[in-house]
Structure 1
Amino acid sequence: MAITVRVGVGRVAAAVVLLAMAALPATAADLPPPVTTPTDPSPDHRQLAWKTCVRGPDDDTGKALDKAGAQCAGLTVPLDYAAPGGQTVSIAIARLRAADPAHRIGTLLYNMGGPADPAIESLPAVSAAMGATARRYDIVGVDPRFTGRNTPLDCGWRTETYFRSAGPDRAGFDRMTAFERGLAEQCRDRAGALLPHVSTRNAARDMDAVRAALGERRISFYGVSYGTYLGEVYTAMFPGRTDRVVLDGVHDPSRLAPWAEYGTEQVNEDALRHWAGWAAAHDRTYGLGGTADAVLATLDRIQAAAVRRPLSVGPYRVDRHVAPLFDYAVLGDDTEEGDALIAGVFRTLRQAADTGHAEPDEFLAAFLAATLTGDGSAYGSTQTAYLCADTPGPRDTEVHWRAIERTRARHPLFGPILNNVTPCSFWPPPEEQPVTTVHNDIPALMVNATGDPRVPYSEARQMHARWPASRLITVTGSYRHGVYGTDYGDACVNDTVNAFLATGRLPAADLTCAPVVSTPRSLSGSSGQVR
């Protein structure tokens, strides 16, 4: 799983960069309380009261859902499933009913990744991606606990993400160790009672509570990125309760340890070089270099300048720990518009490195605000809680330092980013073992690009090999993360997925597709999903 950075203009899903921001819930006052204590020791958790989705005059997400014909509800579930009569939380749900009830297939739930990306706001876009098949499904979006339109878990951080580079030396690593320890301590102080209950296994239990509340014996499921892991965990914990499963950007659960981004240095470098080739072809516009090597040299020069002195970008100072994140953030989109957006960011950073100061555009300013001031910190708090429950990693920070030193010579940029210490080293230990063994014989259609930098293609192949009743759609020559529902995969991917959802019949054999490079139409309409 990877680290998503949501920003005010677009969400840099630690890298899928170009996507418009969806509105957040209207106000904190409109949200349900984070935890309640029931007066009835055996409350009925299965009552759904469907109503309008709009929560207030500024709730653009609710307005879009109402316009699409959706209804919304909340489901009360246990905070701790080991104590079902204890405290509870409310899970936000939105539903589009099947427009062709005479030929209704069933209910499809979906998850957009993150972890902690909201799902509900993507309901109209998921329906559009399914085309005519959508008319035969009740399509249901569920915001996982503490995300989206649910009451957030907020650690009060002054950053939306813990993700940083360790920097070029031991002093920088020690500085980041103190930074990550401080984030964990602050979260324990402010939200410690909730942290044990934020995990993928509990999100899967919530999904099953939604299934039961909908009166469905089985549900179909679509998951992208982290959503594939959620779907895999659900099928393992609740066998026999899924019908048709689609996984896009496929996780191999056995590869999640020892920490979230372990072992992805090379695929990220490959994707970065691919992007640099695009930037070189547009050198007259962006001035980053006329060859891929020249572009990469420009990026190295930006990093070196940030090591000497933090870059001055608007009111922000971009230091040696934050500057490398931009190299990571070019990855996972692989479309013309996304490539152009991030090239503009590097043009600004190059100016800051060369002249001492540059003014950011709206996108870069939003990214820096989220990373350096805490705009949207509740999202980062919740995402971290999921990551630390699912991939807690070593408690000994020296393990991270040795990994950085081991990879630095071959991967001087990505080694210190992807192996850096995280708050998970200082997080409260998870209440249950996060490892879920997945072994399925239900029909599943998997989709993955060969150059996916977020979930390496090798993981999709390994998962496919261990899932006998599955087929794999491979998008060759592509560095995109998440293909279905965009123009990028065109009919080869989209029509194959929709035919499977419509008929329940998998393709006769695995399928290979070529990418169609175009302006992206994000399936979520708002979110880039990463690992």
Structure 2
Amino acid sequence: MPTSRHIKALAACVAVFAATATTASASADPDPFARFHGQRVDWHACTLGAGDELGKELDAAGADCADITVPLDYADPGGRTITVAISRLKATDTAHRVGPLLLNDGGPAGPSLRMPVTKSKVMGDAADRYDLIGMDPRFVGRSTPLDCGWDLGSAPLRSAGAEPAAYREEVAVARELAGRCKRAHGDVLLYVTTRNTARDMDVIRVALGEDTLSYLGYSYGSYLGEVYTQLFPGRTDRMVLDGVSLPERYSHTMLRGAEAANEAALRAWASWAAARHGTYGLGATRGEVLATVQHILGAAADEPLRIGEAYLLDEHVLPFVFIGGLGSDLDERRAALAKTVRLLARAADRKPVEPSEELAGQLEFLLTKAGSAPASQMTAIICGDVAERRGVGSYWRAVEESRERFPLAGPLANNITPCEFWDRPAEAPTVLDNDIPALLVNATGDPRTLYAGAEAMREQWPSSRLLTVEGARQHGLYGEYGNACVDERVNAYLRTGRLPAHDLTCEA
């Protein structure tokens, strides 16, 4: 736990850093971050070895990579350091160069080094005006690593289960996962936060020799962008937040409040699958498809589903497989979920099932050590930001209250997490009280970052504009949904820096 003296020192240092982040202080005091701001950026090839497919992809696209040194603890800039990995595709239209466009793929804990390659394709000639910067946030991907060594089923979100006994298992798992993280990385967990990642972004900006950053962030990445604007006012140029996360809703039960949207997405998918009963055999009506889903969930509650020789899928992890498949209403993603549900239905009937390649990849991540690092990184960021002790019984009461209306999403969204057993964060959650020009992008049926949150963010930032996709149940739109209207509007803003005169709507 941080001491009160440590917290006071951190708060004082943050105030100095936020006010003087770009250059040495205007006063006679030396810049305490001079060694980070003045560091030489050593750009190099991205491939780390023969099996490094990410590095090969980046190198083939003409990108280069670097490691930026940042303080572990911004209250102690003379102390321990860590590195943050970045990638870059340099601007080719130097006559119209805007500057760096930093990219974040969400998560929390989403690696983003590949993004300059993927986003340059949708940006078209707008990409030529930017140095496209991918960043693996602190303790993620190629940055200084963090892995809590979880092997208890490392699904980022777990469901409470059907009975009190199952929930007691969840309490034990959450306590054990928190304990493992503390034992493995207790010396750094206090600093695994969104606010520190935002501070790292500003070190990157200064090290690159730039006065401002442009930014494109998805989902959690929108929250990271919002935090950056609060800590470093006046340091942003063009801002695109896609899948807008309202800071007030950011908590360690991140899907809480989105149960209705996820259940609606489930019903919409069930109607889609029913219309294709001849292909998938899940039911000829929406009700029949939903009954198949309930049969699968009930069977897993009775006894874990065996998938191939390697995997047992229980009632705690199974709902995440469903919810994970409901983030898009694109036919290809709905079809992928339908194929998975067809396999799960056979397993629920206790028939032999071999997982598809896609399902095997999911289960490898969710049920084995392969998912330990990403899951523990995501958890560490959320808990480091907003952990609070609610009391073990409060989660079960919330689960029971939500279960009747939201049988799939309720027990998942309201379940206990390791944050219940985490040390108290060093800093309070970020409160926005600014107003900046930004382009906010959201679908009305987004089951992750709710459209109401995007509307609230638009009201909070009157200088922003909201680009709405009407009727879509899609999380992540720009370059992800194949909607020409969205892509053209975002590219026009990135190209010119001019926001639309008023809010805009695109059809799904």
Please indicate, yes or no, whether the TM-score normalized by the shorter chain is above 0.5: yes
Structure number with the higher helix fraction is 2
C-alpha displacement of 1:336 = 1.2
Partner of 2:381: 386
CA distance in 2, matches of 1:44, 1:199: 19
CA contact (8 A) 1:155 1:381 kept: yes
CA distance in 1, matches of 2:499, 2:334: 34
Once the two structures are superposed, the pairs formed by residues 110-125 of structure 1 within 5 Å of their partners are: 110-125=103-118
Q: CA RMSD in A?
A: 1.6
Count of matched residue pairs: 474
C-alpha displacement of 1:258 = 6.4
CA distance in 2, matches of 1:338, 1:391: 32
CA distance in 2, matches of 1:427, 1:310: 29
2:364 partner SS: helix
Residues 235-289 of structure 1: per-residue CA shift (max 9 Å, x gap): 0000000011000000110122463222111010011111111111111111001
Structure 1 position 476 matched with structure 2 position 461: no
Residues 410-446 of structure 1: per-residue CA shift (max 9 Å, x gap): 222221111000000011221111x212233321001
TM-score after normalising by structure 2: 0.91
C-alpha displacement of 1:487 = 4.6
Structure 1 position 447 matched with structure 2 position 441: yes
Partner of 1:502: 495
Match of 1:307 among 301, 313, 328: 301
CA distance in 1, matches of 2:360, 2:36: 47
CA contact (8 A) 2:386 2:425 kept: no
Higher mean alpha-carbon deviation, 197-206 vs 157-166, is at: 157-166
Once the two structures are superposed, the pairs formed by residues 389-400 of structure 1 within 5 Å of their partners are: 389-400=384-395
C-alpha displacement of 1:162 = 4.3
Higher mean alpha-carbon deviation, 392-401 vs 60-69, is at: 392-401
CA distance in 1, matches of 2:80, 2:365: 32
Question: Kindly tell me: are residues 505 and 44 of structure 1, through their superposed partners in 2, closer, same or farther at Cα, counting changes over 3 Å?
Answer: closer
Structure 1 unaligned spans of 5+: 1-39, 516-531
C-alpha displacement of 1:409 = 2.1
Once the two structures are superposed, the pairs formed by residues 81-120 of structure 1 within 5 Å of their partners are: 81-120=74-113
Partner of 1:241: 235
Partner of 1:373: 368
Partner of 2:67: 74
C-alpha displacement of 1:320 = 1.9
CA distance in 1, matches of 2:462, 2:326: 31
CA contact (8 A) 1:43 1:85 kept: no
AA paired with 1:330?
Answer: G
AA paired with 1:182?
Answer: E
Question: Kindly tell me: are residues 215 and 314 of structure 1, through their superposed partners in 2, closer, same or farther at Cα, counting changes over 3 Å?
Answer: same
Structure 1 position 415 matched with structure 2 position 410: yes
Structure 1 position 152 matched with structure 2 position 140: no
CA contact (8 A) 1:107 1:219 kept: yes
CA contact (8 A) 1:220 1:245 kept: yes
Higher mean alpha-carbon deviation, 220-229 vs 315-324, is at: 315-324
C-alpha displacement of 1:325 = 2.1
CA contact (8 A) 1:129 1:486 kept: no
Partner of 1:344: 339
Match of 2:217 among 209, 223, 232: 223
Question: Kindly tell me: are residues 120 and 180 of structure 1, through their superposed partners in 2, closer, same or farther at Cα, counting changes over 3 Å?
Answer: same
CA distance in 1, matches of 2:280, 2:200: 47
1:201 partner SS: helix
C-alpha displacement of 1:44 = 4.6
Structure 1 position 61 matched with structure 2 position 54: yes
AA paired with 1:232?
Answer: E
AA paired with 1:237?
Answer: L
C-alpha displacement of 1:396 = 1.2
CA contact (8 A) 1:259 1:393 kept: no
C-alpha displacement of 1:326 = 2.4
Match of 1:324 among 319, 327, 331: 319
CA distance in 1, matches of 2:422, 2:402: 25
AA paired with 2:291?
Answer: A
Partner of 2:125: 132
- Larger relative contact order, structure 1 or 2 (CA cutoff 8 Å, min sep 6): 1
Match of 1:289 among 277, 283, 288: 283
Partner of 2:177: 183
Partner of 2:19: none
Partner of 1:429: 424
C-alpha displacement of 1:43 = 4.1
Partner of 2:7: none
Residues 50-97 of structure 1: per-residue CA shift (max 9 Å, x gap): 111111111111111111111111111000000000000011111111
C-alpha displacement of 1:49 = 0.9
CA distance in 2, matches of 1:225, 1:153: 22
Higher mean alpha-carbon deviation, 366-375 vs 171-180, is at: 366-375
AA paired with 1:339?
Answer: R
Partner of 2:256: 262
AA paired with 1:120?
Answer: L
Once the two structures are superposed, the pairs formed by residues 186-205 of structure 1 within 5 Å of their partners are: 186-205=180-199
1:109 partner SS: strand
AA paired with 2:55?
Answer: G
TM-score after normalising by structure 1: 0.87
CA distance in 1, matches of 2:183, 2:252: 26
CA distance in 2, matches of 1:226, 1:487: 18
Residues 372-419 of structure 1: per-residue CA shift (max 9 Å, x gap): 222131111111101112231434111211111221222222211110
Question: Kindly tell me: are residues 417 and 44 of structure 1, through their superposed partners in 2, closer, same or farther at Cα, counting changes over 3 Å?
Answer: closer
CA distance in 2, matches of 1:198, 1:67: 32
Work out the percentage of aligned pairs sharing the same amino acid: 51
CA distance in 2, matches of 1:162, 1:210: 29
1:120 partner SS: coil
Structure 2 unaligned spans of 5+: 1-31
